[in-house]
């Protein structure tokens, strides 16, 4: 019926009252919703569908669509008066009484579909109450804007809708996590949703042209305007996001002057195209390129002309329409330019969600576009110690974003204990599954990998099983954003890997899922650390298979080979081995190549000097691990041991005893 694989997968779940679609930017979520909404309106008895988008520009994704042309039984039609995103008014909408009134008029009408912004919907719910939306579909696009925190009004309203249980909700997101690590939904509410997951790996695998996505950071000293020439290739269709006003990378010369400098770096300015407002630049080799400036907002008419030219449907499939787009706060979420093959961002963006959205601008499939790249251009910490301490945060955040994106791009992992048996539709290589041996199964179509791990704990409860199947990336997100873990894991050579893999990850899982049993918490911890370490080992091996070119275009396709090789190279894959791998080892190797050696050593000395005291909670965790050690070995860990982890457990037992003694004295 004209559906892509992700849309077909979502459509099979169309009967669910609460549906959560986790799928990358450009995978077709808007159209998937059209199919689902039409079925709910025509076959499931719902009265109306309300589509809620974060900003007016994204409302264009839900305009009329002749779905019957491709074999579906109905077309998607939104009457002009009910697409409130097309109505005149400010782009940054706060309170627009006319639009809030229009929502009420729509609910009273016999029409079927309304499109509005998150802001309009929030105010309408406040005025009309949640009961006004009974027996209607509420579809929330870019769902990561919602959160379970008390001060997120849309999040609180959705919780009310779920408690009332009279509306249907479809939530869609390309980045189901937030930069602030606040959960999007509470675990109790999320458990009510049926989840449809479509991965980046599947998306790239299913594309006709685009087959690889490369993620990297590039450090520079001095001005970024001097360094940008090394990473800005005018032969690649590029979106450049210049640094925000408060970023360390901002040269403090004014945003318009920054754009002029970038254009001067590329070639000679030849004026502005009358029709489009694009700048014309002659390159040294004689070719002329067109640059769209979305930074200069001093002349609204001129800026409007540039935006209109970029959105012109006549040029949607014209690769030569524009070559480079330079932006500050625009051209991120929902911005559609299929030819973009390089997203170059100057300065670290504090939100991981924002980075995912920027990367999403380059992940559209287009003829002749075999690979896409995201580059984060970051100022190296200064040589003085005070500046190193202040600036290392940006570096750590960039590394965290890179680690997370590697995880998002990796194949999906399924882990089971040793000798569980083969899983359906997995290929175990020549000779198939062999009991007693190290088995690696691959499901090529969906990019899934099955590994058996000795000593792995299986999740028992339904919720723990769901987390291991759907939520590992959310757990990993929180882990790689933990500043202390990242600092100690990357720059302190004395850090024992198990302090990160067992203690830090264990605490994150306990804090995130306090209602799970201790055994289920340990199962989630093991699955999350296995997924992260498998990806990191695969990256390391894929890089060496590729002659050490870690950023080579073939890395994506080599990931499966890398993971397979890692599993096959060890005689027995067990959880103790996985816990003994520092998850940040591979990232450090990449950083060491890209950062000035003197600065790197200074960063190391600053962080190694931070003595991380054992907290009472970590002491208790170490004491519990020491008891497990005693059960297995028949003795307690010894403080004089040459094994760093055994020694650390013994230190934890001593610290735990001290904390208990202090508590008793108190």
**Each residue's pLDDT tens digit, 405-456:** 788 778 788 999 998 999 998 998 888 998 888 788 888 777 788 999 999 9
| Alpha-carbon gap, residue 582 to 53, rounded angstroms | 40
Q: What is the pLDDT of residues 332-363, one digit of tens each?
A: 655 678 899 999 999 877 677 778 778 888 88
Is residue 169 within 8 A of residue 158, CB to CB? The reply is: yes
User: Which is it for the CA torsion 282, 283, 287, 293, positive or negative?
Assistant: negative
Is residue 165 within 8 A of residue 195, CB to CB? The reply is: no
User: Which is it for the CA torsion 648, 654, 657, 662, positive or negative?
Assistant: negative
pLDDT, position 19: 95
Choose between 260 and 592: higher pLDDT.
260
pLDDT, position 109: 95
Does residue 548 carry a pLDDT above 50? no
Mean of pLDDT values over 94-110: 87
Give the model's confidence band at 666: pLDDT under 50 very low, under 70 low, under 90 confident, else very high: low
583: tokens are 């998850």
pLDDT, position 383: 57
pLDDT, position 47: 97
142: tokens are 């870019």
pLDDT, position 470: 82
Mean of pLDDT values over 597-618: 78
The C-alpha angle with vertex 472 and arms to 188 and 632, in degrees rounded to 5, equals 105
Q: Is 634 left (phi over 0), alpha (psi -120 to 50) or beta?
A: left
Mean of pLDDT values over 155-177: 86
Is residue 521 within 8 A of residue 513, CB to CB? The reply is: yes
Give the model's confidence band at 134: pLDDT under 50 very low, under 70 low, under 90 confident, else very high: very high
User: Which is it for the CA torsion 643, 648, 653, 657, positive or negative?
Assistant: positive
pLDDT, position 178: 45
Does residue 551 carry a pLDDT above 60? no
Proportion of the chain above pLDDT 90, given as a percent: 43
Per-chain mean pLDDT for the chain? 85
Phi, psi of 214 (to 5 degrees): -110, 135
| Alpha-carbon gap, residue 534 to 563, rounded angstroms | 6
Give the model's confidence band at 180: pLDDT under 50 very low, under 70 low, under 90 confident, else very high: very low
Mean of pLDDT values over 83-102: 72
Q: Is 206 helix (H, G, I), strand (E, B) or coil?
A: helix
| Alpha-carbon gap, residue 397 to 391, rounded angstroms | 10
DSSP state of 470: I
| Alpha-carbon gap, residue 255 to 249, rounded angstroms | 12
| Alpha-carbon gap, residue 287 to 307, rounded angstroms | 24
Measured CA distances, 321 to 273, 333, 358 (Å): 12, 21, 21
Pairing mode, strands 440-443 and 448-453: antiparallel
Cα dihedral: 306, 311, 314, 317 (round 10): 110
Q: Any residues with CB less than 8 A from the CB of 595 and at least 6 apart, and which?
A: 219, 380, 395
Does residue 554 carry a pLDDT above 70? no
Give the model's confidence band at 594: pLDDT under 50 very low, under 70 low, under 90 confident, else very high: confident
The interaxial angle of helices 597-608 and 483-491, nearest 10 deg, is 120
Is residue 29 within 8 A of residue 174, CB to CB? The reply is: yes
Is residue 575 within 8 A of residue 453, CB to CB? The reply is: yes
In what helix (H) or strand (E) does residue 571 lie, and over which residues does it extend? none
Mean of pLDDT values over 241-249: 86
Phi, psi of 441 (to 5 degrees): -105, 140
pLDDT, position 555: 42
Mean of pLDDT values over 206-216: 83
Q: Any residues with CB less than 8 A from the CB of 174 and at least 6 apart, and which?
A: 23, 24, 25, 27, 29, 142, 356, 357, 360
Query: By mean pLDDT, which of 68-82, 90-104, 256-270 is the weakest?
Result: 90-104
Does residue 179 carry a pLDDT above 60? no
Does residue 505 carry a pLDDT above 80? yes
Give the model's confidence band at 549: pLDDT under 50 very low, under 70 low, under 90 confident, else very high: very low
Q: What is the CA radius of gyration of the chain?
A: 26
Q: What is the pLDDT of residues 369-389, one digit of tens each?
A: 988 999 989 888 765 555 566
| Alpha-carbon gap, residue 451 to 108, rounded angstroms | 55
For tokens 């940040």, the residue is: 584
| Alpha-carbon gap, residue 271 to 20, rounded angstroms | 48
Pairing mode, strands 268-272 and 342-346: unpaired
Per-position DSSP letters for 267-323, written without gaps between them: -EEEEE-TTT--EEEE-TTS-EEEEEE-S--S-HHHHHHHHHHHH-GGGTT-TTS-S
The C-alpha angle with vertex 359 and arms to 354 and 364, in degrees rounded to 5, equals 130
Choose between 486 and 246: higher pLDDT.
486
| Alpha-carbon gap, residue 622 to 632, rounded angstroms | 15
Is residue 117 within 8 A of residue 84, CB to CB? The reply is: yes
Per-position DSSP letters for 268-284, written without gaps between them: EEEEE-TTT--EEEE-T
Does residue 16 carry a pLDDT above 90? yes
pLDDT, position 553: 42
Give the model's confidence band at 575: pLDDT under 50 very low, under 70 low, under 90 confident, else very high: very high
Is residue 359 within 8 A of residue 374, CB to CB? The reply is: yes
HEC profile of 173-190: ECCCCCCCCCCCCCHHHH
Spatial strand order in the sheet of 440-443: 412-417, 448-453, 440-443
| Alpha-carbon gap, residue 593 to 596, rounded angstroms | 8
DSSP state of 458: P
What's the pTM?
A: 0.78
Measured CA distances, 454 to 2, 410, 436, 560 (Å): 44, 23, 11, 21
206: tokens are 């299913």
Mean of pLDDT values over 311-323: 88
105: tokens are 């008029």
Does residue 89 carry a pLDDT above 60? no
């Amino acid at each position: 019926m004209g559906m892509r694989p992700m849309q077909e997968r979502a459509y099979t779940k169309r009967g669910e009252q609460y549906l959560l679609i986790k799928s990358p930017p450009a995978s077709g979520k808007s159209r998937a919703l059209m199919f689902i909404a039409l079925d709910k309106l025509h076959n499931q008895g719902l009265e109306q569908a309300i589509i809620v988008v974060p900003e007016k520009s994204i409302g264009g994704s839900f305009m009329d669509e002749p779905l019957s042309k491709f074999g579906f039984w109905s077309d998607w039609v939104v009457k002009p008066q009910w697409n409130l995103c097309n109505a005149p008014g400010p782009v940054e909408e706060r309170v627009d009484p006319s639009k809030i009134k229009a929502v009420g008029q729509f609910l009273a009408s016999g029409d079927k579909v309304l499109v509005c912004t998150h802001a309009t919907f929030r105010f309408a719910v406040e005025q009309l109450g949640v009961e006004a939306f009974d027996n209607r579909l509420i579809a929330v696009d870019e769902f990561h804007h919602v959160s379970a925190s008390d001060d997120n009004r849309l999040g609180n309203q959705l919780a009310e809708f779920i408690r009332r249980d009279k509306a249907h909700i479809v939530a869609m997101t390309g980045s189901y996590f937030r930069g602030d690590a606040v959960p999007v939904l509470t675990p109790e509410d999320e458990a009510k949703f049926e989840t449809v997951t479509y991965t980046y790996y599947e998306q790239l695998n299913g594309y006709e042209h685009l087959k690889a996505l490369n993620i990297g950071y590039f450090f520079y000293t001095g001005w970024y305007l001097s360094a940008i020439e090394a990473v800005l290739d005018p032969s690649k269709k590029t979106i450049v996001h210049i640094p925000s006003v408060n970023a360390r990378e901002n040269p403090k010369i004014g945003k318009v002057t920054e754009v002029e400098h970038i254009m001067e770096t590329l070639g000679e300015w030849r004026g502005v195209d009358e029709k489009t407002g694009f700048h014309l630049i002659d390159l040294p080799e004689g070719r002329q390129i067109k640059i769209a400036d979305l930074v200069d907002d001093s002349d609204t008419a001129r800026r409007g002309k540039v935006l209109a030219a970029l959105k012109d449907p006549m040029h949607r499939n014209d690769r030569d329409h524009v070559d480079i787009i330079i932006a500050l706060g625009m051209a991120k979420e929902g911005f559609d330019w299929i030819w973009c093959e390089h997203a170059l961002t100057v300065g670290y963006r504090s939100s991981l969600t924002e980075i995912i959205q920027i990367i999403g601008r380059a992940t559209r499939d287009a003829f002749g576009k075999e690979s896409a790249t995201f580059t984060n251009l970051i100022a190296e910490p200064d040589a003085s110690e005070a500046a190193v301490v202040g600036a290392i945060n940006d570096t750590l955040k960039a590394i965290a974003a890179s680690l997370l994106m590697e995880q998002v791009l990796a194949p999906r992992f399924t882990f089971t204990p040793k000798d569980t048996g083969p899983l359906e539709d997995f290929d175990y290589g020549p000779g198939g599954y062999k009991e007693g041996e190290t088995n690696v199964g691959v499901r090529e179509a969906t990019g899934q990998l099955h590994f058996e791990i000795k000593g792995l704990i299986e999740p028992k409860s339904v919720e723990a099983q769901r987390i291991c199947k759907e939520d590992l990336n959310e757990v990993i997100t929180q882990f790689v954003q933990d500043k202390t873990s990242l600092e100690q894991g990357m720059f302190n050579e004395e850090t024992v890997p198990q302090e990160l893999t067992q203690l830090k990850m264990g605490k994150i899982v306990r804090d995130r899922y306090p209602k799970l049993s201790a055994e289920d918490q340990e199962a989630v911890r093991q699955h999350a650390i296995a997924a992260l370490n498998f990806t990191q080992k695969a990256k390391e091996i894929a890089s060496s298979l590729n002659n050490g070119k870690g950023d080579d275009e073939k890395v994506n396709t080599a990931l499966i080979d890398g993971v397979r090789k890692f599993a096959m190279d060890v005689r027995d894959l067990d959880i103790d081995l996985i816990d003994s791998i520092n998850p940040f080892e591979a990232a450090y190797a990449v950083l060491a190549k890209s950062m000035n050696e003197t600065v790197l050593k200074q960063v190391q000395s600053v962080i190694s000097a931070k003595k991380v005291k054992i907290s009472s909670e970590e002491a208790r965790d170490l004491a519990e691990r020491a008891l497990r050690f005693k059960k297995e070995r028949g003795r307690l860990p010894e403080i004089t041991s040459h094994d760093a982890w055994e020694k650390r457990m013994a230190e934890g037992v001593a610290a735990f005893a001290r904390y208990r003694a202090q508590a008793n004295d108190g």
